[in-house]
Amino acid sequence: MASLLEDTMFLMKKYHIKANKSLGQNFLIDENVVEKIVEKSNISKEDLVIEIGPGLGTLTSKLLEKAGKVVAIELDKKMLNILNDRFYLYDNFSLINQDVLKVDLGKLIEEEKEKNGLKNAKIVANLPYYITTPIIMKLLEEKLDLESITVMIQKEVANRLVSIPGSKSAGAITYTVYFYSIAKELLEVPNNSFIPEPEVTSEVIKLDIRKEEPVKVKSKKVMFRIIKCAFMQRRKTLLNALVNTKVFLNKEEGIKVLKELDLSEDIRPEKLTLEDFANITNIILK
């Protein structure tokens, strides 16, 4: 049996493909990693799987064996012939040639689930790294009818996404991920699992979407805005960051709010829990 590396080289040669760096094309050639992603995604015939960036179809071919339906979204036109040639015999495969950030995923999920009588929708992908954050934010903030998101991303970003609010490596995005999901790291993936090799180490993470929101807050939009302002000036204290960005009208107001919540005047943003930010929001909106 040919190895995944040989299959990949063969397809690239046959279809005259050169990996396009600006589209984040790093193709998986490690069978074990592909197997692990599929296994951890926990896919059944009752699932709709949306794959972002199928590329040459390495992951797609395994997903098709397990899922009720796979909808693959690929921006690069050069991949379309390959994918259609490889999977035209599968009646549970469809391909959308679009930028994933522009796809109405809510509508897509609703229609595909209904048309195919499927129970759950899951995202599985080896993401293009140049747009990891906007993709994750879209998947979470659009409140899609999703059960889980299993994705390969840069390890550095993974660490930030899965860290716990209130811990040292937390950033603004940590709070968004925590609000919408329970995140875990699954597998570190070395650079030589891809061709061409990416310049950064990779990691597979899984986000299980929460059924209930973990904090009560008057306005999510305002809370996330406050979190963004707090982390815009990471080296500053929370108080200074929120005064500078006009979340607090002035220092006196800020000190009053922090006192009411038993938070120190010189606390740094990453020390706050999600509940702390929800409380600040609720006081400001009172």
Residue 191, Cβ neighbours under 10 Å: how many? 13
In angstroms, the CA 11 to CA 57 distance is 10
Number of residues that bind ligand SAM (CB under 6 A): 23
In angstroms, the CA 207 to CA 177 distance is 8
Choosing from 92, 126, 176, 279, the residue that interacts with ligand SAM (CB under 6 A) is 126
User: Candidates 93-101, 184-192, 207-215, 252-260 — which segment interacts with ligand SAM by CB under 6 A?
Assistant: 93-101
Which CB atom, from 127 or from 278, has the smaller least distance to ligand SAM? 127
User: Candidates 17-25, 87-95, 207-215, 246-254 — which segment interacts with ligand SAM by CB under 6 A?
Assistant: 17-25
252: contact with ligand SAM by CB under 6 A: no
User: Candidates 41-49, 74-82, 167-175, 237-245 — which segment interacts with ligand SAM by CB under 6 A?
Assistant: 74-82
49: contact with ligand SAM by CB under 6 A: no
25: contact with ligand SAM by CB under 6 A: yes
Question: Quick check: 34 and 4 in contact, CB under 8 A?
Answer: yes
Query: Binding mask 257-276 vs ligand SAM (x if CB under 6 A, - otherwise)?
Result: --------------------
54: contact with ligand SAM by CB under 6 A: yes
Which CB atom, from 95 or from 272, has the smaller least distance to ligand SAM? 95
Query: Binding mask 105-124 vs ligand SAM (x if CB under 6 A, - otherwise)?
Result: --------------------
> Cα-atom radius of gyration of the chain, to the nearest Å?
21
In angstroms, the CA 103 to CA 119 distance is 21
User: Candidates 68-76, 105-113, 153-161, 162-170 — which segment interacts with ligand SAM by CB under 6 A?
Assistant: 68-76
Smallest gap from residue 60 Cβ to ligand SAM (A)? 7
User: Candidates 46-54, 115-123, 163-171, 226-234 — which segment interacts with ligand SAM by CB under 6 A?
Assistant: 46-54
Q: Quickly list DSSP for 162-201.
A: HSPTTSTT--HHHHHHHHHEEEEEEEEE-GGGEESPPSS-
In angstroms, the CA 90 to CA 65 distance is 9
CA 38 from centroid of its chain's CA atoms: 16
In angstroms, the CA 154 to CA 128 distance is 10
User: Residue 120 pairs with which residues in a beta bridge?
Assistant: 47
100: contact with ligand SAM by CB under 6 A: yes
Choosing from 50, 75, 105, 172, the residue that interacts with ligand SAM (CB under 6 A) is 75
24: contact with ligand SAM by CB under 6 A: yes
CA distances from 101 to 16, 98, 127, 132, 167 (A): 27, 8, 12, 11, 30
Q: Which of 30, 17, 93, 89 is nearest to 56 (CA)?
A: 17
50: contact with ligand SAM by CB under 6 A: no
In angstroms, the CA 192 to CA 53 distance is 20
Q: Which amino acid is at 64?
A: L
Kindly list the residues in this chain that would bind ligand SAM in the complex (CB under 6 A).
23-28, 52-55, 58-59, 73-76, 79, 99-101, 126, 128, 131
